[in-house]
Amino acid sequence: MTADRLCFPEGFIWGTATSAYQIEGAWNEDGRGLSIWDTFCRQPGKIWQNQSGDIAADHYHRWKEDVGLMAELGLKAYRFSIAWPRVLPQGSGPVNVAGLDFYDRLVDALLEKGITPFPTLFHWDLPQALQDKGGWTKRETAERFAEYAGIVGKRLGDRVTYWITHNEPAVAALEGHYTGQHAPGIKNPLSAAWAYRHLMLSHGLAVQALRASAGRPIQVGITLNLSPVHPASDAPQDVKAARRYDGLLNRMFLDPVLRGTFPRDIEKIFGLLFKVNQEDLRTIATPIDFLGVNYYTRSVVRHDPNVPFIQASEIRPEGSEYSEMWEIYPPGIYELLTRIWTDYKPANILVTENGVPVPDVLEPDGRVHDVRRIAYLRDHLIQVHRAISEGVPVRGYFVWSLLDNFEWALGYRMRFGLVYVDYDTLARTVKDSGRWYARAIQENALPPNATI
């Protein structure tokens, strides 16, 4: 296949993605309630340099400018998340109208510019009031989530066609409740297992609530973080470890949502810990219209008896290229997309996140020459194109992220944006990657090389 001018299907959805806590700031304005991330960031030592999303990219105040930047880039779609504690400061009960109004205005402004909104209902900022009652370890939280979905669906459903229930439930369950590296910072396998079950259940309930409240046909999906898993060697032990890891990372999420089943091998490993009952499985498998896939890297795994249950751990393969965070492995997105299509046949797939952290510098010429990011995006888009040309129904691609933002436990150390944010002045500068992406969108094709 030649890399020259790869054209994408007509109507291909070119977008960017962000999330509320990572960009909005305004943590205590207009009636917003506390989220678990507000609490977590205030615990010393949890976040790089004890930073927080209190101000972040100040998008709550600069949203008009940001929508203007999106229009300048020619985006066809914008994926953002709605902050549950802005809408329901206590997680349930009285609605904070000012919070809903913010998203209402944002949606209108996007539509006015011809940019299709893709709101995500949960990108990890659980209302603290619900955490105080047990958070995702409690079934009630799934029920509250469905109520919240219904409230937002009723307000925005007349204009918003595409909805995403959750972003990366694996991360919310495991990093939030097992490794404790994310809010709420719990380190307990049992809590992680309950959180997994209720997050998954809440997805199915929210799909139903959104459809019931929107008042017209809408398209609903979920975003999962997925990776191809490769064994570190041909040794049978490593091959088996990779299969187990694939169950934990991929199949435990894909099977319930797209097949209404729970992987048997994972059930054997964990016993009843993670197993979802039949009735809940039926809810989780409520048909969706598209699957959102977040891809950043592959996982290379070896047998490791020291890891409880799964007995597998990731290694960093030698000789690979690495970003600030992960191995750069473009063929992985092709492998993942084709595998999802072969094994699960979802009607539509969207790459809802793909991107790379680069130590960007605003140069004296007023530009950010992020050539590595351009190369990353281009190399991954070539692989997405390859999957499409083989019949995989990938309808769109969203770069993570529109803006530099708060990268959770890593604070502002990582920059993922197409737009540079000066955290002192909050001024925005479109990076070279943003200009390159704008050209790809305009031409609905990849520019012939990585220059702009």
Site for ligand IFM in 392-431 (CB under 6 A): 400, 407
Q: Residues 92, 250, 294, 433: which binds ligand IFM (CB under 6 A)?
A: 294
Can residue 202 be called a binding residue for ligand IFM (CB under 6 A)? no
User: What pairs with residue 117 in β-bridges?
Assistant: 78
Name which of 123 and 302 has its Cβ closer to ligand IFM. 123
- DSSP one-letter code for 129: H
CB 437 → ligand IFM: shortest distance, Å?
A: 17
Name which of 157 and 180 has its Cβ closer to ligand IFM. 180
The string of DSSP codes covering 184-243 is T----HHHHHHHHHHHHHHHHHHHHHHHHHHSS--EEEEEEE---EEESSSSHHHHHHHH
CB 157 → ligand IFM: shortest distance, Å?
A: 25
> Does 353 qualify as catalytic in the annotation?
yes
- What is the size of the binding site for ligand IFM (CB under 6 A)? 7
Helices (H), 247-370: 252-259, 264-270, 278-284, 331-344
Residue 283, SS3? helix
Name which of 168 and 238 has its Cβ closer to ligand IFM. 168
CB 99 → ligand IFM: shortest distance, Å?
A: 20
Can residue 125 be called a binding residue for ligand IFM (CB under 6 A)? no
Per-residue three-class SS string for 370-428? CHHHHHHHHHHHHHHHHHHHCCCCEEEEEEECCECCCCHHHCCCCCCCCEEECCCCCCE
Site for ligand IFM in 165-194 (CB under 6 A): 168
Residue 1 CA neighbour count, 13 Å, CB half: 13
Residue 276, SS3? coil
Name which of 209 and 337 has its Cβ closer to ligand IFM. 337
Name which of 171 and 285 has its Cβ closer to ligand IFM. 171
Name which of 140 and 327 has its Cβ closer to ligand IFM. 327
Candidate list 24, 314, 353, 407, residue with the active-site label: 353
- DSSP one-letter code for 80: E
Candidate list 24, 168, 175, 314, residue with the active-site label: 168
Where does 50-115 show beta strands of DSSP type E? 77-81
User: Measured between alpha carbons, how far is 174 from 192 in angstroms, rounded to an integer?
Assistant: 6
CB 102 → ligand IFM: shortest distance, Å?
A: 20
Vertex 407 angle, CA 401 and 408, to 5°: 135
User: Measured between alpha carbons, how far is 118 from 110 in angstroms, rounded to an integer?
Assistant: 10
Site for ligand IFM in 254-283 (CB under 6 A): none
Q: Residues 6, 8, 19, 384: which binds ligand IFM (CB under 6 A)?
A: 19
Can residue 353 be called a binding residue for ligand IFM (CB under 6 A)? yes
What does the CA dihedral 125, 185, 147, 218 come to, rounded to 10 degrees? 50
Structure tokens at 189: 């396998």
CB 401 → ligand IFM: shortest distance, Å?
A: 7
Can residue 360 be called a binding residue for ligand IFM (CB under 6 A)? no
Name which of 132 and 379 has its Cβ closer to ligand IFM. 379
> Does 168 qualify as catalytic in the annotation?
yes
CB 428 → ligand IFM: shortest distance, Å?
A: 18
Q: Which residue has tokens 């205590």? A: 28
Residues engaged in binding ligand IFM (CB under 6 A): 19, 22, 168, 294, 353, 400, 407
| Positions marked catalytic | 168, 353
